[in-house]
A and B are shown apart, each in its own frame.
Chain A
Amino acid sequence: MSVKMRLSSAAAGPDPQALSGAGRTPALAQERVSSVAKARTWAYGSTLLKILGLAVFAFLLFGPLANLVLWSFAERWYAPFKLPVSYGTRYWEVVFRPTGDAMSSLATSVSIACLTVLVALAVSVPAGYALARLRLPWRTALMILFLLPQAFPSVAIYINVARVFYSLGLTGTISGVVLVHAAHGLVYSVWIAAAAFAAVDRDLELAARNIGASPLRTFFTVTLPLAAPGIMASAIFVFLESLDEFTGTFFVGVPQVTTLPLLLYNASMGGNYQIASITALILLVPSILFMIVIERFLKADVLSKVGQ
């Protein structure tokens, strides 16, 4: 439509004689020009509206993150100043001091996350293989069972886990927290591992068996390497879940185990926004990296089989 308008504007618009004209059809010409102008304003208006909409959207999306970054570099910031009174990296030095709380929390968080990945993979790789390749009774029910911990309001579960762990002496220990995180991440690791195994071409396994490989050798030299990217994706998922987990650690880990999310919470509730913001930024790095690389690991053929 706008193309047509532009054509007619080229024909009628630049010709002043058609406007002031010899009195042939001035009304018609004027009408044409005004409709051209209207269409043009409409097109500009719509583009402007789109840019404005995107700007508002981007502000709502990144505003909170920008505020986080501002706080992390603010040495002094109080009302009524709209921006920090003085900037500096003093709090970054505090956080990254080797002996500081933050560094020990980071070490705790990362080691818990690594152990969680090990535990989750140790149980979910066999389970995923069984779900994808072997005949199991009530297979759907089993798949749903792994989903349940995610589908239930978790606080009520964690308070009871903490109670059970207390009687076992597991509260406030790394192993207790690892177990809670691994159970929480199991749905990702089992479902994605099952999808990854299901996406492996069965003919390749059969070919290996035909030329004399044992089932075990087939699994380790054919099936597992082919499913590795999917399993890698599930490991990353579990790692991130563990790194970001707050509720379970809050009930099971206190007071001895302080992970980064707990440090963030304590700093924020204590009014120390700089430390809280820097901790939040540290937690953001793996999340954003993951968002960028996820498509590389989770291929469409695996994704389409998740949950089946």
Chain B
Amino acid sequence: MARPSLFGLLLIAPALAMIGALFLYPLGYSLAAAFTEPGGSLSLVHFQKAYDLYSTDIVFTLFIVVVSTLLTGLFSIAIAGILTLSETPWLVAVLRQLYRWPLFIPFIVAAQCMRTFLAKNGLMNNSLVALGIMEPIQATSFLDWRGIIITFVWKQVPFVTLMLAGAMASIDRATIEAGRNLGASRLRVLIELVLPQVAQTLLVGLVLSFVTMLSVLSVPMMVAGSQPTMLTVDMAFRINSYGDYATANALGVISYLIAGTVAWIYLRHNVKREMQA
């Protein structure tokens, strides 16, 4: 067992081949298509075109994904915090049963739900009008950037909350009790004692959510109108309408860069933490 097992490599080879053929090879293909001119020489001309045509959408995508990630973090902390620190058992029990529902609901189903729920004449506006909170004349459609953010947050909060509540349940209760006994409010205990101990889990959950939201095609297509829109929709449009792989791949590389930046922030945080430890 001291040296690498050849048998082990043999067992893992088919899975590796699959990743190679269906992920690494297309990845290389996309980089090649984005960085080479029709002549075959290296150039950034496709990025110039992508920037000229879609700079608004790049900013729009960043805005949507960053805001959704922040809101997801905020709501998840609130729900997980209530689950961990609330002193009202029935509240915790009900909330625990409720919050998970969207967890395994596919994005496309969430998009279809929101497409009807957030519409001008959707159930949300209708309920607000029926309750007398809003005048019918004030009803507006949320099917734009707000709709995308609402759908993303609705879908991702259960996932991050699940991770966060798990991490919070496993921290030492004594620190919380000590803080409470010394007279700290529950909000203060949450922010100053609990959160620092689960920051790592929160970060992982948010990074995964960020990349997921960056990759989703169905939600921006179904929930929002055509302009401005997210990079995924632009890529699909370049391919389906023009067969323009070069510009689409340049946009793809831009989305890798956005995802890569977030991964880098995560890794840097990790390194810093290990240095401190």
CA distance A65 to B216 in the complex (A): 20
Q: Which residue of B lies closest to A51 (CB)?
A: B91
Residues B127 and A59 in contact, CB atoms below 8 Å apart: yes
Residues B3 and A149 in contact, CB atoms below 8 Å apart: no
CA distance A167 to B258 in the complex (A): 30
Residues B136 and A80 in contact, CB atoms below 8 Å apart: yes
Q: Which residues, 213 to 240 on B, are CB-close (under 8 Å) to A? A: 214-218, 221-222, 231-232, 235-236, 239
Q: How many residues of B contact A (CB 8 A)?
A: 83
User: Is B69 on the interface with A (CB-CB < 8 A)?
Assistant: no
Residues B19 and A146 in contact, CB atoms below 8 Å apart: yes
Q: Which residues, 248 to 275 on B, are CB-close (under 8 Å) to A? A: 248-249, 251-253, 255-256, 258-259, 263
Interface of B is mostly: helix
Q: A54-B94, A127-B11 are in contact. Are A149 and B23 (CB under 8 A)?
A: yes
Tally the A-B contacts, defined by beta carbons under 8 Å: 244
Stretch in A20-28, A34-42, A246-254 touching the partner? A246-254
CA distance A276 to B114 in the complex (A): 12
Residues B239 and A124 in contact, CB atoms below 8 Å apart: no
Interface of A is mostly: helix
User: Is B85 on the interface with A (CB-CB < 8 A)?
Assistant: no
Chain B residues lying within 8 Å of A163, measured Cβ to Cβ, are 26, 29, 245
Of residues A64, A83, A123, A288, which shows the largest number of chain B Cβ atoms within 10 Å of its Cβ? A64
CA distance A82 to B222 in the complex (A): 22
CA distance A137 to B8 in the complex (A): 10
Contact of A152 among B111, B130, B235, B256 (CB under 8 A): B256
Chain B residues lying within 8 Å of A211, measured Cβ to Cβ, are none
Chain A residues lying within 8 Å of B249, measured Cβ to Cβ, are 156, 159-160
Contact of B108 among A61, A123, A145, A264 (CB under 8 A): A264
Chain A residues lying within 8 Å of B106, measured Cβ to Cβ, are 243-244, 246, 261, 283, 287
Stretch in B39-47, B116-124, B181-189, B193-201 touching the partner? B116-124
User: Is B25 on the interface with A (CB-CB < 8 A)?
Assistant: yes
CA distance A59 to B263 in the complex (A): 35
User: Is B49 on the interface with A (CB-CB < 8 A)?
Assistant: no
Chain B residues within 8 Å of A, Cβ to Cβ: 1-5, 7-9, 11-12, 14-16, 18-19, 22-23, 25-27, 29-30, 33, 88, 91, 94-95, 98-117, 120-124, 126-127, 129-130, 136, 154, 208, 211, 214-218, 221-222, 231-232, 235-236, 239, 245, 248-249, 251-253, 255-256, 258-259, 263
A-B pairs with the 7 shortest C-beta distances? A156-B252, A134-B8, A244-B106, A64-B113, A160-B26, A183-B22, A127-B15
Chain A residues within 8 Å of B, Cβ to Cβ: 50, 54, 57-68, 70-71, 79-80, 82-83, 122-124, 126-127, 129-131, 133-137, 142, 145-146, 148-164, 179-180, 182-183, 186, 190, 240, 243-244, 246-247, 250-251, 261, 264-265, 268-269, 273, 276-277, 280, 283-284, 287-288, 290-291
